[in-house]
Amino acid sequence: MIRSRLIEQDCSDTNQINLQYNLAISKIARWDFPVYWPSILEDLVNNVEFMQKNCSLDTNFFRIENSLIALHYSIKTSCGRVLATERNAFKAFSASFIPKISNWYKSYIYLFFENQSYNPRFLVPAIYCMKIIKRLFAFGISNPENNPDCLLLYDLIFESLSQFYNFFSNSSTPNDIDNITKLSLKLIVSIGKFYIEVSKFSPTSFVLMEKTVSVMQWYGNILVSNEADTPPFFQYNPLLEGYDLTPNKIHLQSMLLFKAIVRNLAFETDYESQNENSPATICNNIIAKVFFNDDFVSLLINAMITKYMVLSNKDIDKWEFEPEEWIIEEESDNWLIDIRACSEKLFTELFMDKKEILLPQLLSNLGNTSELSIQKKDALYTAVGLCAFELSKSINFTEWLQSHLINDIKQSYAGSEIIRRRIVWLIGKWVTNGLVPDNLALCYEIILQCLSENETSIVVKLSSVVSLNECFNDWNFDPNDLAQYSEIIVKQLVSLLKNPLISESKPIVINCLSMFIERMRSSIKPVLGLLIEAVPIIWEDIASDTNANGEINNPNSIKSVIDLTTNLVNSSGVESQHLNNFVCPMITFSCCNSPVQVFLQERGLELWMASLKQCEFLSSDLASLFGLVCQLIGSDNSEFMSEYFSILQSYFYLHLPFFVFEQNKENLLNIKNSNEISSVDVINRITVGFQELVLNITGHLVSNSYNSKFFCSMINMLDALFLSINTADRVDFMKFFELLKISNFIANIYGICQSGSKYSPIVMSYAAALLARLILISGDNIGDFVRVLASIIGQSDFDIVLKDLCHILLNNYDMLVYQKHRKLVCLALSILVSTTSISVLNHLSSIISVVWIDFQASSGNSRDYANTSDDPKKRMLLNKPIGISWDKGVDKLNSELDVYDDDCEESSTSQETIRKHYFANNDFVAKVNELLFIKARFSANRLKYSDEELVKLTFGDLSEELAMENLNFIKSLPDV
C-alpha cells in the first residue's frame, strides 16, 4: 500500500516536478528490485500509460512528466546490477518494454510535427523517452541487431533525427522558435548520446545494425560538409564552444561516434575467428569499406586540420587573459568534452590505420606552410607532432628543424608566440620518440630560449616547461647530455616560480624541476647549492598561502614541492644530511594528524623514508621525529601502517635504540653525531616515543582487527627493534624489561602464541619467533626475563612459565616459514634447556627430534623450508614473503646487495642498504653455529644430571628408532 501510494502521490495534480518523490521511488527500485518489489518497473510503466490516456499534455503536463521522470530514474538505478539474477530480471523487463517505449516515442514525435504544430510540450516527454531507450539498449538488450522490435525502434530514432534536420533546414520554420529550438537541440543531443552509448557498450551490435550505415553517414556529413550546405543550427561555431545546447555539441558527438569505432579492440580478430562470417570480420569490413572509405577519410582529415584543430578566437582570447588556465586545460585529457582535443585524438587513431592515404596529403600541406594563416599553420604542426614517429620515415626532422623551425622561433610578429609555443611542443614529441638524437643540444637550447626572460608569453614559457619535462622523461635520457645546462635550467625554473603571474600552474613548473632532479641523479650535485637555497623559499611561499580556515589554497603545488624534495633527497645521497633543517619541518607539517593536511600524508611519509634511507647518521632533527611516528602507529588510519613500520625499521637501522638501552655509554662515542643525540632532552623524547610505541602496538595486538599480513609486518618490525637493542655491548636490562611491561605487551605476545588462541596460525608462528628473539636477547639473564614474565602473567612458579615457553616454541615451530625464524626457535630452546629446569628437560626428546634434528637437516638447503606436514592448517603458508630483508637469510641478502652494487652507480647505493648489510652480518642468529651453541647449552645440564638421566630424558617416550636418532644427534655435536 505504501508503495502504491508513493507512486500515486508522485503523479498527483501538481504544477512542478516532484524531484524528491522521483528520487525516493528510484532509491526503492535500487534496493527492492527484483527481490522485494519485482513489479516496480512494470508498475511505473502502467502508471505512465494511465497518465497518457487520462491526462492532456496541455492541462496536465507535469503529471505526465513526473511519471516519466520516475520511470527514468528507476531504470537508471537498476541498469547497473551486478548479480546475474538481478541483471536477468532487468533484461527480461527491457525486452518486454521495448515495443511500448517505441510507441510512446513515435506518438510524441508524430504529435510534434502533426500539422506543423511544433508544440514544445511534446518534446519534453520525447527527451525522457530517449534517455530511457539509451539505457535499455546499452544495458538491457543483448544483441539488439537480432531483435525485430529493437530494429524498428532504431530505425524510428534515425527517422526522427532526419525529421529534425529537415525541420531546421526548412525556410518556412516559424520565426518565434526560441523554446522549440532549445528543446529540439536537446532531443538531438539525447539521440547523439544514445548512439554513443550503444557504440560504447555494444560496439559489435551497433555496427551490425543496418541503419547504422545511415547514422554514420549523417554524422559524417555534419563533420565534412561545407558551411553553405549546412543549416545554420548545425554549423560549427567555435565562439559558442562550451555551451551545453549548441550545434558544437552535435559536432563533438559526431567526432566521439567515429572515435568509438576506430581501432576498437572489440573488433579485433584472433586466429580461430578469422573467417568471413565471424561478427568481428564483418564489422571490420563495414568499418573499412563503408564508414571509413578512402574518400571520406581524406575529407575528414582535411576538416580536422583546417577547422576542428584550429585555435579559435576564443582560445586566443583565453590565451591572452587567462594563460595559466589555458595551459592547464591543454595538458588535461579532456577529449570527451572538448572538440579540438577530440579531433586530435581521432586524427592520431585514423593516421595509424590510414597512413598510406593520409601521409601524402600531410606532406603536401607541409610544402605550403607559407600560404597558411597562423592558426592553420599551428594546426598543421599539431598534426605533424601527433604522428611524429610515422612521419620520421618520410621527413628529416633535423633538416626541417634547422632550415624552417629555427627561423620561426627567431621571428617576432603579431601571433608569432602561437608558432613558438607549437615548436617547443613539437620538440618535446620528437625527443620523447628519439627522433633527434644528434641534435639534442640544439633542442635544449631552443626550449631554454623560450623559457628565458626575453620570452614575454606565459603560455610559451609554460609550454616550454611541459616539453622540457617530456625530454627528461625520455627513455634514453642521459644526464651527461644535460649537465652543461643544469644551472640555467634550475635558475630559469626557479625564476618562473617567482613570477607573480604564475599561481595555478605552479605544479607544472615544480613537477618539471622534480623530474629534472630525479633523472639527473648524482649529476645534480653541481647545482645542489642552488636547490638547497631555492626549495625552502618555494615551500614557505606555498605553505603560507592559506585561506581564512587555514586550508592551503593550492594543495597540488604543495604536494609537488614535497615530491620535489623527496627526489632531491634521493639524488643527493649522503649530502641530503644537509637538507634536514628544512626537510624535517616539511615532514612534521605533512604527517601531522590534522584533517586539513591528511591529503599530504602519503607524500610526507615518502619524504620521511627517503631522508632516513639516505642519511649517513642520525641527526637530532630526524631523532625528534621519532615520537611522531610512534603516535601515528596508534592512529585509526591503517592505510599507511606499512610505511610507519618501514620508518621505524629505518630508525632501528640507525641505532636509535642504542642510545636508550646501551649501558656502556662509551660505546656511543663510536656513533657519528652521538654527542648531539645523547643530550638529556633528546634521550627523554626518544624514551617517551618507545613507551608510546609499545602502548600502541599492544593496542593493535589486543584488537586483532587486522589481517595476518599486517600482524606479520608488525612483528617483523618488533624483531628489528629487538635485534637493534641486541647490538648493544651491554644491554640495560632494567630499562628493557620496563619497556616490555608497558601495557602488558609481553603478556599479549605470550598469549598470542598459546594453543587455542584466536589468532591465525601464521600470526602465532611469527609471534613465537619474536618470543624466541626475546629469549635470545636475555641470554644469560634468562632468569630475569622469566621472572618479569611470571610477574606479568601472575604465575609464581617459574618452572611452569619455562614449561609454557617450551610448549609455545615447539607447537609453532612447524608453521615457521623462514629459515631464520626456525633458527631463532632452535637457539631459544637451547637457552631454555640450559636453565636445567626439569619442566623443560621433560620435553628434551621432542626438542631434539622436532626442532634440532629437523633444523640441522634443512639448514643445508638455501631455499625456504618446505612444510610437508599432514595437517592442512600447518600448510597454510604465506604465498609472498613478508618482513625485513634479512628474513631471507644473510647469504641471500649479501648476494642481492652485490648484484645491486654491480647494476648501480656507487653513489646510488643508499646508506640504508649498507646498514641492512651490516645488521645482516652482525645478527647473532646469522653468525652463530647452531650445533656449537646447542652443545654449549646442553652441557650446562651435566653439572646437575648424570649421563644416565640425560640419556633417559633424551629418549623420552619416543620409539626405539627415534630415540637412537636423538642419541646419535647428541653424540655428533662438535666440541665447544
d(CA 510, CA 476): 22
Window from 189-193, 471-475, 543-547, 833-837 with minimum mean pLDDT: 543-547
Q: What is the pLDDT of residues 942-964, one digit of tens each?
A: 888 998 999 999 998 889 899 99
Cell of 296: 571520406
Predicted local confidence at residue 240, as pLDDT? 66
Cell of 38: 519485482
Predicted local confidence at residue 82, as pLDDT? 67
**Is the bond into 34 cis (omega within 30 degrees of 0)?**
yes
pLDDT tops 50 at residue 277: yes
d(CA 31, CA 37): 9
* Residue 105 vs residues 139, 147, 156, 205: alpha-carbon distances, Å: 19, 18, 9, 22
Residue 444 resides in a domain: yes
pLDDT tops 50 at residue 109: yes
Bridge partners (DSSP) listed for residue 552: 546
Residue 702 resides in a domain: no
d(CA 916, CA 884): 9
pLDDT tops 70 at residue 863: no
Q: Which residues 6+ apart lie within 8 Å of 56 measured at CB?
A: none
Bridge partners (DSSP) listed for residue 662: 731
d(CA 30, CA 12): 23
Predicted local confidence at residue 241, as pLDDT? 54
Q: Which of 475, 503, 497 is nearest to 328 (CA)?
A: 503
Predicted local confidence at residue 272, as pLDDT? 52
Please compute the mean of the pLDDT values over residues 459-474 and round it to a whole number: 94
Q: Which of 919, 884, 686 is nearest to 770 (CA)?
A: 884
Residue 607 contacts residue 565 (beta carbons within 8 Å): yes
Q: What is the pLDDT of residues 288-313, one digit of tens each?
A: 999 999 999 999 999 999 999 999 98
Predicted local confidence at residue 79, as pLDDT? 84
Burial class, 924, CB count within 10 angstroms (exposed 0-12 / middle 13-18 / buried 19+): middle
Burial class, 355, CB count within 10 angstroms (exposed 0-12 / middle 13-18 / buried 19+): middle
CA dihedral sign of residues 432, 437, 439, 441 = positive
Distance of CA 165 to the CA centre of its chain: 46
DSSP 745-762: HHHHHHHHTSTT-SS-HH
Task: Give the rounded percent of residues in the chain with a pLDDT score beyond 70.
Answer: 89
pLDDT tops 90 at residue 335: yes
3-state secondary structure (DSSP) of residue 552:
strand
Please compute the mean of the pLDDT values over residues 145-167 and round it to a whole number: 95
Predicted local confidence at residue 451, as pLDDT? 95
Residue 356 resides in a domain: yes
147 — pLDDT class (breaks 50, 70, 90) = very high
- The reported pTM is 0.83
Window from 164-173, 254-263, 733-742 with minimum mean pLDDT: 164-173
Q: What is the pLDDT of residues 621-640, one digit of tens each?
A: 999 999 999 999 988 666 88
Bridge partners (DSSP) listed for residue 731: 662
3-state secondary structure (DSSP) of residue 372:
coil
Residue 439 resides in a domain: yes
Q: What is the pLDDT of residues 27-72, one digit of tens each?
A: 888 888 888 888 989 999 998 998 888 877 666 677 888 889 999 9
708-726 helix and 641-653 helix, angle to the nearest 10 degrees: 10
Helix H or strand E encompassing 43: helix 40-54
Burial class, 498, CB count within 10 angstroms (exposed 0-12 / middle 13-18 / buried 19+): exposed
Helices and strands of the chain, counted as H and E runs: 52, 0
Please compute the mean of the pLDDT values over residues 644-650 and round it to a whole number: 94
Q: Which residues 6+ apart lie within 8 Å of 280 measured at CB?
A: 204, 266, 267, 268, 269, 273
pLDDT tops 60 at residue 164: yes
Burial class, 777, CB count within 10 angstroms (exposed 0-12 / middle 13-18 / buried 19+): buried
Predicted local confidence at residue 389, as pLDDT? 83
Residue 339 resides in a domain: yes
Cell of 871: 595437517
Predicted local confidence at residue 867, as pLDDT? 42
Cα angle, residue 847 at apex, residues 845 and 852 outer, rounded to 5°: 115
Q: What is the pLDDT of residues 237-246, one digit of tens each?
A: 877 654 455 7
Predicted local confidence at residue 10, as pLDDT? 52
DSSP 365-429: HHTTGGGS-HHHHHHHHHHHHHTHHHHTTTS-HHHHIIIIIHHHHH--STTHHHHHHHHHHHHHH
Mean pLDDT of the chain: 85
Predicted local confidence at residue 13, as pLDDT? 58
Q: Tell me phi and psi for residue 165, to 5 degrees.
A: -65, -45
| DSSP class of 26 | H
Per residue in 731-754, is it b (16+ CB within 10 Å) or e — as a string? bebebbbebbbbbbbbbbbbbbbb
DSSP 292-316: T-HHHHHHHHHHIIIIISSPPHHHH
Residue 914 contacts residue 954 (beta carbons within 8 Å): no
Residue 933 resides in a domain: no
pLDDT tops 90 at residue 417: yes
Predicted local confidence at residue 59, as pLDDT? 62
Q: What is the pLDDT of residues 672-700, one digit of tens each?
A: 777 778 788 888 899 999 999 999 998 88
State the total domains in the chain: 1
Predicted local confidence at residue 908, as pLDDT? 54
pLDDT tops 50 at residue 404: yes
Q: Which of 765, 867, 860, 775 is nearest to 821 (CA)?
A: 765
Predicted local confidence at residue 224, as pLDDT? 94
Q: Which of 508, 501, 496 is nearest to 470 (CA)?
A: 508
Residue 707 contacts residue 758 (beta carbons within 8 Å): no
Domain carrying residue 354: 320-457
960-972 helix and 947-955 helix, angle to the nearest 10 degrees: 130
Please compute the mean of the pLDDT values over residues 743-767 and round it to a whole number: 87
Q: Which of 251, 337, 352 is nearest to 292 (CA)?
A: 352
Residue 720 contacts residue 726 (beta carbons within 8 Å): no
Predicted local confidence at residue 393, as pLDDT? 79
